[in-house]
């Protein structure tokens, strides 16, 4: 069997993706994206699941976007069933960057309410990119079940995702400020937190320049005073 220069280069690149140096891995991912090759797809996805460095993961995702959707999409959708949280999160991130709406059916309610915050956040971002036309109101209802979840960073991610859907989120937000919502997350959330988050999200929709910290603190004051934020509407 004759070993060609191309085979040697490919082996070197694949070895580089697993190198102990993050700078070597970064260069290898860049090389894969610069010269896409179907042989690299499986390794790229496998590496996404375990790569510890953010910048390398981002380059791995970019490299995947350079390959045919017919190869990357089925493999990434398969990763959404992985037991490894990073595998699910990074696959969602890659699907959002590829942006092919064929992936929409794979963005399940289970992923949108994943107990791992990073997975759920990736699912929210992917969902608003991939949602099929006409499915936005239903998506808003599911996203609203996550209101009040987590810390500021997680809540801001959810608010940004909902705001990206536009005014179709208003009925779901209004319902969250007036009625107890379903607790689908493993950790129950105080209704006051849900109400405040809903009000802050609506404030960001109406005033995109408002900072989230200001919006959430203002919403907390409204809730503490017994208001729903609906007065005067």
Residue 2 lies in a domain: no
What CA–CA distances, in Å, run from 37 to 48, 105, 162, 177?
17, 27, 37, 51
Residue where one domain finishes, among candidates 113, 141, 171: 113
Could you give the number of structural domains in the chain? 2
CB 96 within 8 A of CB 73: no
pTM score of the predicted model: 0.85
Residue where one domain finishes, among candidates 113, 145, 174: 113
| Burial environment of residue 224 by CB neighbours within 10 A (0 to 12, 13 to 18, 19 or more) | exposed
CATH number of the domain encompassing residue 34? 1.25.10.10
Tens digit of each residue's pLDDT (9 = 90 or more) over 177-203: 886 644 444 346 788 889 889 988 998
Residue where one domain finishes, among candidates 62, 83, 113: 113
Domain that holds residue 58: 11-113
Residue carrying the six token digits 């959430």: 216
Same domain, 71 and 107: yes
Q: Does pLDDT of 227 surpass 60? A: no
Same domain, 47 and 77: yes
Q: How confident is the model at residue 1 (pLDDT cuts 50, 70, 90)?
A: very low
User: How many helices and strands (H and E) does the chain possess?
Assistant: 13, 0
Residue 217 lies in a domain: yes
Residue 172 lies in a domain: yes
Please list, in sequence order, all residues whose beta carbon lies within 8 angstroms of the beta carbon of residue 189, skipping any fewer than 6 positions away: 147, 148, 149, 183
Same domain, 101 and 145: no
Q: What is the pLDDT averaged over residues 115-137?
A: 97
Helix/strand/coil for 184: coil
Same domain, 142 and 210: yes
**How many other β-carbons are positioned within 10 Å of the β-carbon of residue 163?**
18
Q: How far is CA 23 from the centre of its chain?
A: 26
Tens digit of each residue's pLDDT (9 = 90 or more) over 46-91: 999 999 999 999 999 999 999 999 999 999 999 999 999 999 999 9
Same domain, 15 and 72: yes
């Amino acid at each position: 069997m004759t070993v060609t220069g191309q085979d040697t280069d490919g082996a070197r690149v694949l070895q580089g993706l697993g190198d102990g140096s993050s700078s070597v891995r970064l260069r290898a991912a860049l090389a894969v994206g610069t010269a896409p090759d179907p042989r690299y797809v499986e390794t790229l996805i496998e590496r996404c699941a375990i790569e510890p460095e953010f910048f390398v993961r981002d380059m791995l995702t970019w490299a995947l976007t350079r390959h045919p959707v017919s190869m990357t999409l089925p493999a990434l959708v398969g990763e959404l069933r992985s037991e490894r949280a990073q595998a699910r999160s990074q696959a969602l991130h890659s699907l959002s960057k590829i942006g092919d709406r064929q992936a929409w059916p794979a963005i399940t309610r289970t992923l949108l309410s994943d107990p791992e915050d990073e997975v759920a956040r990736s699912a929210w971002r992917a969902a608003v990119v991939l949602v099929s036309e006409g499915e936005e109101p239903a998506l808003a209802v599911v996203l609203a079940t996550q209101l009040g979840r987590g810390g500021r960073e997680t809540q801001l991610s959810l608010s940004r995702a909902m705001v990206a859907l536009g005014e179709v989120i208003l009925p779901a937000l209004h319902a969250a400020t007036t009625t107890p919502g379903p607790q689908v997350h493993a950790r129950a959330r105080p209704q006051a937190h849900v109400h405040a988050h809903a009000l802050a999200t609506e404030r960001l929709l109406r005033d995109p320049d408002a900072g989230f910290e200001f919006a959430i603190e203002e919403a907390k004051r409204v809730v503490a005073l017994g208001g729903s934020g609906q007065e005067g509407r």
